[in-house]
Amino acid sequence: MEKSKIRMLANLIELNKIEVRLSKKYYGGISPKFYLRDLNKETLVEIPVAETCEDDICVKYYFKNVHIDLTHHYEMVDNYGLSAILQYVRLSELDDFDELFYYDGKLGPLYQKEKTTFKVWAPTALEVMVKVGNEAYQMERKEKGVFEVTIQGDLDNQEYNYLIRHHKSFHETLDLYAYASNANSNSNIVIDVDKINEPLYLENLQHMKRKTEAIIYELSVRDFTMSKTINATHPGTFMSLVESGLVTPQGNKAGFDYLVDLGVTHVQIMPMYDFATVDELHPTVMYNWGYDPIQYNVPEGSYALDPQDGYSRVKECRHMVSTLHQKGLRVVMDVVYNHMYDYYTSAFERTVPGYYFRKNQYGEMSNGSWCGNDLESRHQMVRRYIKDMCLRWQKLYGVDGFRFDLMGIIDIETLNQVYDQASKIDDSFIMYGEGWNMPTAMDDHEKGMQDNHRKMLNIGFFNDYYRETLKGGSGDSALKDKGYFAGNMYNCEIGGECMKNTNRYSYVDQSINYVECHDNATTFDKFAISNGDEPLETRKKRQLMLNVALILSQGIPFIHCGQEFYRSKDGLGNTYNTLDHINAVNWSLVDENQEDIETLKQMIQLRKENGGFKYETIQEVNEYVSTNHFDYRILRYCVKQNKGKYQEIVAYFNPSYYDFEINDMDEYEVIYNDHESRTYLAPISMKIFGLKR
């Protein structure tokens, strides 16, 4: 009990045990007798005190073996007539709470044309109502703490909220299982899910025999088409992300057509669920990447043509995925099941207070996310929720993979169950995430971090060692640090090991190879600092080499949108809330860098056509892939394969200021050469050869 005007609190702390706290400012906290009032039966029964204890603020009274019917409402009354509502909130602290209240039935709005049933899991609530339009309907408590009501009539496109009471007053909240919402998450909207039926064209997607066949391209719905360098019909929306016919100022392909032409296999889309800090009615006023979730179950409204219309965001999001599928592109959804924007006002906390968020041993909020809260994925109904929403996004919207933000906050069991569930539907499904060891209140052996890769053999991890070794430091304090391709020759030998990828994870296909993503400075901006003494063209050569090495490395290549045409964010790193003039993709850079884009397209095609770049196991790589160096400057990367046009492909990389003469390659065909001579390896250049069968 805090130092306040509250004189009495009553909590059910076990199914048959009550705790009452009396303030010492009220009769010294002493009451000789207590009574339990059943408000449903209108009875008042004295109950004996089993034990007491006290602190500086209050006296605590405990009552055992008390029969409580959770469908009834009660008050505790002291000897002087003071009463307090008996709250059920602290039941969520019980070790066996999940065993007592876990529910596996349907939840949310169950729509039929003639009626809609609403079901919400709120086992610690005293009372729940659903407000549809201007009318509130009482919900009945059923098994496992589920409240339910059926409302007659066609509620299609009707707004609704839940009103949940845990103490004296009701709190209005959203439905964790809703399908749609109006603008800015004010209310949910009932929709007929059967109307969300645009074909998903799954038959257009090539079956992946190996995860290493994936080539991932990360983009933001908003950034992709917001620039005035292209004339998107609806900039920054689901619809314009897949808008055909967009061109650069000089008439080159831009936007969707550019993406299709590039040749990647997967598009990773930054958060597209409903997030908090962009006003959906005025979307250009504020900016956010979207790592501030408010509704995991509903698409983001600022990306919709009409955020007030319940169907708009749902249909347009599915249309985006459908159109990408038509072109053979798989979609990876960026999911943030580690924290909420504001835990206190979240539907989680207002529905079952204290249950959905992790606490440390002292009962304090865990903050491993650095966002003020961590979801407690080990709780059974939290785990169920994560799985349910992942299943919804896979089946209703057609996503083909998940990228888990701050995956180290989520427990291993939950992650493995999500993958198993998804792969039973689509055995080409991929799943990976940020496997950092986050300081959440959970033992390390339970965390979904990369050190536990042996416990998550089907899940990939962003390989930060690869990034740091080949490019150099990415954080603001490390931008001057050089990796191998930035000219740090000390990294030559370990750079080769990174390209082989045999010393980091249990399987090679667990390595998501990346040198740039939405976080931190772009490679172009980083090289402007680490290699600022070099001319622009030299820095571009370094970045092109780095990009080529990335595509040809063993593992799964990951490209950040614009990395291939030297995208800049004006030297800024964490641009999560910086406006469009910084984050929007500048498509005029495509006009300026056509030759280098074509080189990357060539390398993507080379990877696709040759299995030697797509080995999955360490045994395969050790048998068929080799690297060696010359004078700790030049890196030679060689892959052998049993099928395909070439029996062997050899790449030479020289990020040094020294030239080099290549020998013994007379029988090899030149695949890529940035110099007239086939044997002269100029400073800061590369060559690729293939030995035909």
Total count of residues recorded for the chain? 693
Return all residues near 160 (Cβ < 8 A) that are at least 6 apart.
Answer: 109, 118, 130, 131, 132, 133, 175, 187, 188, 189, 190
* Residue 607 · residue 597 · CB < 8 Å: no
Three-class secondary structure of residue 665 per DSSP: coil
Q: Rounded to an integer, what distance in angstroms lies between the CA atom of residue 394 and that of residue 333?
A: 9
User: Known catalytic residue: 198?
Assistant: no
Among 72, 171, 177, residue whose Cα is nearest residue 129: 171
- 127 phi-psi bin (left φ>0, alpha ψ -120 to 50, beta other): beta
Q: Rounded to an integer, what distance in angstroms lies between the CA atom of residue 443 and that of residue 80?
A: 48
Sequence-ordered strand ranges (E) for 510-553? 511-513
Q: For residue 59, which phi and psi values (nearest 5 degrees)?
A: -105, 135
Q: Rounded to an integer, what distance in angstroms lies between the CA atom of residue 77 and that of residue 82?
A: 6
Going 502 to 506 to 508 to 510, the CA torsion angle's sign is: negative
Q: Which amino acid is at 327?
A: K
Q: For residue 265, which phi and psi values (nearest 5 degrees)?
A: -105, -30
Q: Rounded to an integer, what distance in angstroms lies between the CA atom of residue 293 and that of residue 270?
A: 12
Query: Which of 274, 434, 509, 525 is labelled catalytic?
Result: 434
User: Known catalytic residue: 481?
Assistant: no
Q: Which amino acid is at 3?
A: K
* Both structure tokens of 613: 């770049």
Q: Rounded to an integer, what distance in angstroms lies between the CA atom of residue 435 and that of residue 580?
A: 29
Query: Which of 223, 405, 516, 564 is labelled catalytic?
Result: 405
Among 59, 58, 60, 32, residue whose Cα is nearest residue 47: 32
* Residue 290 · residue 275 · CB < 8 Å: yes
Q: How far is CA 134 from the centre of its chain?
A: 35
* Residue 392 · residue 335 · CB < 8 Å: no
Q: How many CB atoms lie within 10 A of CB 320?
A: 26
Q: How are strands ordered across the β-sheet holding 108-112?
A: 108-112, 115-121, 146-152, 140-141
Query: Which residues are catalytic, by number?
Result: 405, 434
